[in-house]
Amino acid sequence: KKIKSDRSTKTRCYEFLNMTSRSFAAVIQNLDDELRDVVCLFYLILRGLDTIEDDMTLSIEKKDPLLRDFYNIIRVEGWRFEESGDQEKDRQLLVEFYVVIDEFLKLDEKYQKVITDICKKVGNGMADYATDAALNTYGIISLGDFDKYCHYVAGLVGIGLTNLFIASGLEAEIATRDEAIANSMGLFLQKVNITRDYLEDISHGRCYWPKAIWSQYASNLYELKNPGNETEAINCLSAMLLNTLQHVTQNLTYMNSLRNQSIFEFCAIPQVMAIATLALLFRNYDVYRKVVKIRKGQTLALIKQSKNIYQVAAVFRYYTQQIMKKNDARDPNFLKISIVCGQIEQWC
Ligand SMILES: COc1cccc([C@H]2O[C@H](CC(=O)N[C@@H](CC(=O)O)C(=O)O)C(=O)N(CC(C)(C)C)c3ccc(Cl)cc32)c1OC
């Protein structure tokens, strides 16, 4: 009986992985044996946290303790959560969360320690910002706030994964030990998503674009998408791109320090998707009309181009040149964008 339940709980975890994340699930399943289950569970635990944070049907009184206590909840056998509302596939994950917990508690202590530590920091960070959103103040004012928020929801994931890579013994390079560049891996992905998801986020009454940026182009974030403000909207988008591009050279350094092939591809694929998305978003007014995504065919081509640092550098060089071509001398950020693109090309 026990053996059967083991097989079904682990299988159920991978079913959730494939349910909750389209292309990325395959990348996780390509990881070496030592890390596959660990990262799968880390991903699902983070997904559980994200589902609670994103759930607009949960009152702050309910949400706050759940987020702050999640690092303990992942040790409570049998725990499940049925009140989560909106996203069906994510909801099911929380209804059967005890399956994730069962598998998590079977992991080697050294992995449980890393995941617990990150969960505690992410949960508290999310709760701090959830309070802001509940108080309806724009939580993200300064560029410092922007980097802090992205650190909590994404940078810590980069740091956590790096600690898992090192704990597994598959990576040892000093460069990956540098928390600042592991953090940067997350900030880049998160900032590209935040830039891409402008319309979707404001339609849910959320805004993650820092006031320090959008206030130079409009008196409020919602105004940016109104007819007549096209030039300001496009130039604001450039400012978001400029802020996001600053992480690229650190990320290339991080990827250059990786030695395990499966870890390299696991890290490189989301990065090349992100630079391709960013180039597509640049000076693209569609950002204010719909969610702009790169085409499936491009995704597959990019995955093939993520096998080693030479290919990845070539991809970054290509999209940096695409950005330079679209750069417009009338854009107030024209010069800064060309400088940061120059630095990226120099690295490559
Ligand atoms: C060293 O750091 C990393 C190395 C490899 C991958 C990721 C990062 O990549 C995916 C990639 C992913 O999930 N892509 C989606 C596409 C999309 O979200 O639009 C997908 O393909 O489903 C991603 O986006 N996030 C979410 C955060 C950015 C918030 C951390 C994420 C969530 C959980 C985990 Cl374990 C990992 C990641 C890393 O994290 C920084």
The answer to whether residues 176 and 167 touch, using CB atoms and an 8 Å cutoff, is no
Q: Which of 129, 266, 316, 319 is an active site residue? A: 266
CA-closest residue to ligand 1 atom 1:
158
Confidence of residue 89 (pLDDT cuts 50, 70, 90): confident
pLDDT at 228: 94
- The two tokens of residue 221 are 């974030």
CA-closest residue to ligand 1 atom 30:
154
Give the Å distance between the CA of 284 and the centre of ligand 1: 24
pLDDT at 1: 44
Q: What is the Cα–Cα distance from 155 to 159, expressed in whole angstroms?
A: 6
CA-closest residue to ligand 1 atom 16:
24
- Give the model confidence (pLDDT) of 15-49 as tens digits: 999 998 878 999 999 999 999 999 999 999 999 99
pLDDT at 207: 84
- The two tokens of residue 187 are 């900030």
Give the Å distance between the CA of 182 and the centre of ligand 1: 13
Q: Which of 75, 80, 206, 259 is an active site residue? A: 206
Percent of the chain with pLDDT strictly greater than 70: 94
pLDDT at 330: 97
Confidence of residue 137 (pLDDT cuts 50, 70, 90): low
- Is pLDDT above 90 for 176? no
Mean pLDDT for the chain overall? 93
Query: b or e along 6-45 (b: 16 or more beta carbons within 10 Å of the residue's beta carbon)?
Result: eeebbeebbebbeebbeebbebbeebeebbbbbbbbbbbb
Look at 57-61, 260-264, 307-311 and tell me which has the smallest mean pLDDT. 57-61
ipTM: 0.97
CA-closest residue to ligand 1 atom 10:
270
Ligand 1 neighbours, Cβ below 6 Å, are 21-24, 39, 42-43, 46, 153-154, 157-158, 161-162, 182, 185-186, 189-190, 266-267, 270
- Is pLDDT above 60 for 4? no
Residue pointed to by tokens 């998801």: 197
